[in-house]
Structures are given as structure tokens and as C-alpha cells.
Amino acid sequence: FGDKYLADFPFYDLMQGKITDYAVYNRSLNFLTLKDAAEVVEYCLYHLAPVAVLLHFENVTQDENLRNGYLALIEKIRSVNKKCRIGILDCAPLQNHVVENIARLTKCEYIHVSEDSDVKGAFRKMDAFFRGGKISFWDAFSI
């Protein structure tokens, strides 16, 4: 759930032919702002009841807006779905320390993908998050 990076991420292409015990529903929008996300996320969570939610917002101008926006969004997610695991992808290099601290403070998983130059490398890290760190019998043969 996020802005342009996740909206454009080829989840469905990368999952073709992959046998998984989870489904990915990408509810990201190119124009979605972190400020507006807390209002929209409740509708998505209520109907999908996900086990895990992945967050990424990059176009936030100030660290304080980034911090407050993520805290409000995470609070909203947990109020709707208490058992949902939350992962936060890194964002702009100068703001990664803020995002990492938010993840630590809120007991979310911080996922560092900006070092991956290709989407397959980033997807491997996201896939591990979606699986909850566990590997299935089928995944063992696809590595």
C-alpha cells in the first residue's frame, strides 16, 4: 500500500508461475499521499483482511510529516486489523533513518530494498516478508 514505487511494481509479473501460500493485492496508487492514506486504508483492510501489509511512501517533504503520517497510518491499520504484520520499505536515502526508526518504534518490519538495482532482488525481500520468513516446500525448489 503506497505511492508510485509500489503502484508501478510488477508484483503480478514476478508471481507468475510461482507457487505460494499467499496472495498479493496491490492497492497502491501513483497519486496517493501519506496524509490521505490513513483515510483510504481502512476500506481496503476491511474487505481484504490481509495477514500482512507492505507500506511505502517516498514523496514526503519533511521528516516530521513522514513520521506523523506513518504513525497515523500504522495506528489506523492496527485499529482495523490488530494481527496484521506491517512492513515498511525504505524510501529516499536521506529519510531512511526516519523510516527505520518508525519501524523500530511501532514494531514493524523495515525492509531495505533501495540497494537492489533490479526488481527481482527487491521482490525476493518482499516475498520473504509476505511469507513471514517461512519458506514453503515449493519455494525451496525455486531458490
Please say whether the structural domain 4-142 has been given the CATH code 1.10.3470.
Answer: no
pLDDT of residue 142: 57
Encode pLDDT of 104-140 as tens digits. Answer: 999 999 988 876 667 777 887 887 777 776 666 655 5
Q: Output Rg (C-alpha) for the chain, integer angstroms.
A: 15
- What values do phi and psi take at 57, rounded to 5? -135, 125
Encode pLDDT of 25-83 as tens digits. Answer: 888 888 888 888 888 888 888 888 888 899 988 877 777 788 999 999 999 999 998 88
CA distance 24 to 130: 8
* Exposed / middle / buried, residue 19 (Cβ in 10 Å: 0-12, 13-18, 19+): exposed
Confidence category of residue 24, pLDDT binned at 50, 70, 90: confident
